[in-house]
Amino acid sequence: MTTDQTPAGGDDAAEFDDATSATLDTLEDVLDAVRERDPDVPQWEFCEGVMTAMLVMRRTVDETEWLQAIFGREAGDVFASPAERTRFVMGWMEREAQLRHALDNPVEELDADGALAPAVMDWRGLLATLPEEERAEAADPDEPPPALARLWALGFMHAVDVWEDDWAPPRDPEIAAMMADALQCIADLLDDDRGAPAMNLYDPEGPPSVSEARFETFGEALWAVYDLHDIAKSLGPRQPPVRNDNKVGRNDLCPCGSGKKYKKCHGA
């Protein structure tokens, strides 16, 4: 199915502010232009999943790395000109700042102002609202529309695979278990939505397209992102292994000079 992407909820739920909408329009416009040359270029929703994963990693990923991760090739083979690349990268940086602000902003409810709100699409809801003739033209019998937030989760887990060393669990078993549980909440969105449709997040007046269970799973995935963000902040930047000729015990002071025990620092 090929259509313009809009945030879940359309015009009647969780609207983006003007700045966010303008940023997303820029990114989607560039991707549309690139997609005319290469139909396999991912939707922005997938890209935002990659971006979200990057924001809860313990290091900063440079531009060359994330462009390669998204497009699978050098940026020079993706964009038609330096200006097109610059437009995409600037839009990326703006959206990254918006998501970072949301993650740094403590919230108690996901519908609170400033809460994390990925630009995901209720693709099935959109398709269901189209007139029959347009729906038949837009639908792809070989590739049914994805369930809510599946493309976002695909992007997130793609980043986990690409940077698997950065996502290696820490030695602390409790924190490692928390990371695993959070990642599983996001991976659950890779499954299809087989529940009874109860709501349409593209058009609340449209035919139901998303189950209550799927909506709840999406919410759990968003809380999981917050958890991963907190874990990354608590662990701090991932450091290269410390070389020391003398064996360091887990309860000894870390030789890096941080003042922390080795098990809480470079031994984490």
- Residue 268: what pLDDT? 63
Phi first, then psi: what are they for 35, rounded to 5°?
A: -65, -25
Whether residue 8 lies inside any domain: the answer is no
State the distance between the two ends of the chain, measured CA to CA, in whole angstroms.
45
Cα–Cα nearest to 29, from 117, 95, 97, 91? 91
Query: SS3 for 197?
Result: strand
Whether pLDDT at 90 is above 50: yes
Q: Looking at the DSSP assignment, which residues form a beta bridge with residue 253? A: 261
- Residue 259: what pLDDT? 58
Average pLDDT over residues 8-26: 73
CA distance 259 to 102: 32
- Residue 110: what pLDDT? 93
pLDDT digits (tens, 9 = 90+) for 218-264: 999 999 999 999 999 999 987 655 555 566 777 777 766 555 677 66
Query: SS3 for 248?
Result: coil
Confidence of residue 74 (pLDDT cuts 50, 70, 90): confident
Whether residue 139 lies inside any domain: the answer is yes
Whether residue 146 lies inside any domain: the answer is yes
Q: Are residues 204 and 251 in the same domain?
A: no
- Residue 241: what pLDDT? 53
Q: Are residues 205 and 225 in the same domain?
A: yes
Whole-prediction pTM: 0.83
Q: Note down the domain range covering 174.
A: 18-235
Greater pLDDT, 131 or 152: 152
- Residue 122: what pLDDT? 95
Whether residue 6 lies inside any domain: the answer is no
Joined tokens for residue 112: 């609170």
| 171: DSSP letter | S
Whether pLDDT at 17 is above 80: yes
Q: Are residues 156 and 100 in the same domain?
A: yes
Whether residue 10 lies inside any domain: the answer is no
C-beta separation of 84 from 30 below 8 A: yes
Q: Are residues 138 and 267 in the same domain?
A: no
CA distances from 49 to 44, 156, 194 (A): 9, 4, 22
What's the whole-number average pLDDT of the chain?
Answer: 87
